[in-house]
Amino acid sequence: MIQLIRGFKDILPGEVELWQKIERIARELFEDFGFNEIRIPIMERTELFKRSIGEDTDIVEKEMYTFPDRKGELVTLRPEATASICRAYIQHKLYSPDPAQKFYMIGPMFRRERPQKGRYRQFYQIDAEIFGVQSGLVDVQLIFLLVTLCKRLDLKDVGAHINSLGCPACRPQFKAALTDFLVSVGDKLCPDCVRRRDRNPLRVLDCKVPSCREAITGAPSLLDHLCDGCRSDFDLVMESLTKLDVPFVIDKQLVRGLDYYTRTAFEIQTTSLGAQSAVAGGGRYDNLVKELGGPDIPATGFAIGFDRLAELVALNAPQPVQQPDLFVAALGAKSQTLAFEWICKLGLDGIRVETDLADKSLKSQMKRANRLGAPYVLILGENELEAGEAVLRNMRTKDQTSMSLENIVDDIKFQIKGTKSQLG
């Protein structure tokens, strides 16, 4: 049998309802905050990701699904959304006449990482980006949005972590101080970090290898090296989060894996998902639009790991499985044909009906109705058919009533809609 590819997964019925619920709540929230949906392609020119994410990042170095298309041009399955949204913003001049724009998108991403729980090779992100506003206050808006989404999903064990990554004016001094420090701890770093030390020293700060974490405990902090502009922006972010009652932790090891970040970086972390603690992450990227050939326009954004968010919500509240409103136990070919007609008509009115067209006994059909959790069963046997009626059984109270076949579709609608509105 052909199995799915390692690191890829199916989202099956029973699970997908939760994804739909999260998506609905997220969309509502984005739209209330004035974000517009944007849909971007799944594949882009490889160059786009190399230039934005950075050549020395794990993603570009070893995780992208890159291949030549039939004409030899290198293309890549998108590993994240920001680069593509920036490309679209520049290509379609979405900055004109008003550079201040807010977008969101929901869809799959592809990274060839080592698969484990919470880490997949095809995973989904809910992504939001704000262009054209330099103030750290919009970073706060994004963090506020994330925290609100978590609240609406009843998540308790999540918290916001923030840091500032400085800007091209202050980061070089910090990088130099960090590199000196990393040289001084020498062989205590893992082989990956020894390589990162020279090429991308900031990445050493978020290495998860225990010996590296220990080695960097005394590392210099970017927060001590911020220029005046970055310092006052970070102060504004903290002050505004406090005013909005958003609890946060200053996390000087939060550096994010991508090159394009400047100033505020943030993550929503949880203690409930083991090693994969980051549910969402983002930050400001003031130079990316310009670096990709657009005008000098600042931007900020985040990506939520949809898979992890869904796992977290499921841990907190197991989701009820969808149940039919009615099961029709039809016996004999004529009854089955009638039942089938009713299902189609009732479906138009949003009433979910199941039946059995396999000529099973009444007993086995009642068992199935029970298993599906149908609150009502309509029994239509040959005797009932001859008498021009069917029997409606309330599965909870076990009461049975006869219903004339004449107006049965409308009568069922009335009965079931009444029950639904009583249940709220």
Residues forming contacts to ligand AMP in the complex (CB under 6 A) are 80, 111, 113, 118-120, 123, 125, 257, 278-281, 303, 305, 307-308
Nearer to ligand AMP, 303 or 331 (CB): 303
For residue 245, how far is the Cα from the chain centroid? 24
Least distance to ligand AMP from the beta carbon of 370, Å? 38
Nearer to ligand AMP, 26 or 331 (CB): 26
Least distance to ligand AMP from the beta carbon of 111, Å? 5
Say what angle helices 306-316 and 16-32 make with each other, to 10 degrees.
110
- Encode 237-262: b = buried (16+ Cβ within 10 Å), e = exposed: bbebbeeeebebeebebbbbbbbbbb
Which tokens hold the place of 66? 């890159």
The SS3 assignment for 129 reads strand
Say what angle helices 137-152 and 16-32 make with each other, to 10 degrees.
140
Alpha-carbon distance 26 to 313, whole Å? 13
Write down the residue that tokens 């950075």 correspond to: 54
Least distance to ligand AMP from the beta carbon of 236, Å? 23
Nearer to ligand AMP, 166 or 305 (CB): 305
Nearer to ligand AMP, 304 or 338 (CB): 304
CA distances from 107 to 101, 124, 131 (A): 20, 5, 20
Nearest-CB residue for ligand AMP: 305
Nearer to ligand AMP, 113 or 411 (CB): 113
Specify the amino acid at residue 54.
G
Alpha-carbon distance 220 to 223, whole Å? 9
* Signed CA dihedral, 386, 387, 392, 397: sign only: negative
Least distance to ligand AMP from the beta carbon of 312, Å? 10
Least distance to ligand AMP from the beta carbon of 31, Å? 22
Which tokens hold the place of 290? 């310009």
CB-CB contact of 111 with 139 (8 Å): no
HSE, CB side, 13 Å, CA atoms: give it for residue 336.
11
Least distance to ligand AMP from the beta carbon of 75, Å? 20
Least distance to ligand AMP from the beta carbon of 186, Å? 29
Nearer to ligand AMP, 162 or 343 (CB): 162
Nearer to ligand AMP, 312 or 326 (CB): 312
Nearer to ligand AMP, 115 or 229 (CB): 115
Q: What is the DSSP letter of 61?
A: I
Least distance to ligand AMP from the beta carbon of 81, Å? 8
Instruction: Report which secondary-structure segment, H or E, holds 242.
Output: helix 228-243
The SS3 assignment for 316 reads helix
Least distance to ligand AMP from the beta carbon of 292, Å? 17
Nearer to ligand AMP, 11 or 362 (CB): 11
CA distances from 343 to 14, 327, 347, 414 (A): 22, 9, 6, 15
Angle subtended at Cα 119 by Cα 116 and Cα 123, rounded to the nearest 5 degrees = 140
CA distances from 177 to 180, 197, 201, 202, 225 (A): 5, 12, 10, 11, 9
Write down the residue that tokens 């039809």 correspond to: 330
Nearer to ligand AMP, 113 or 192 (CB): 113
Nearer to ligand AMP, 103 or 123 (CB): 123
Least distance to ligand AMP from the beta carbon of 80, Å? 5
Least distance to ligand AMP from the beta carbon of 128, Å? 12
Nearest Cα residue to 151 out of 265, 56, 244: 244
The SS3 assignment for 124 reads strand
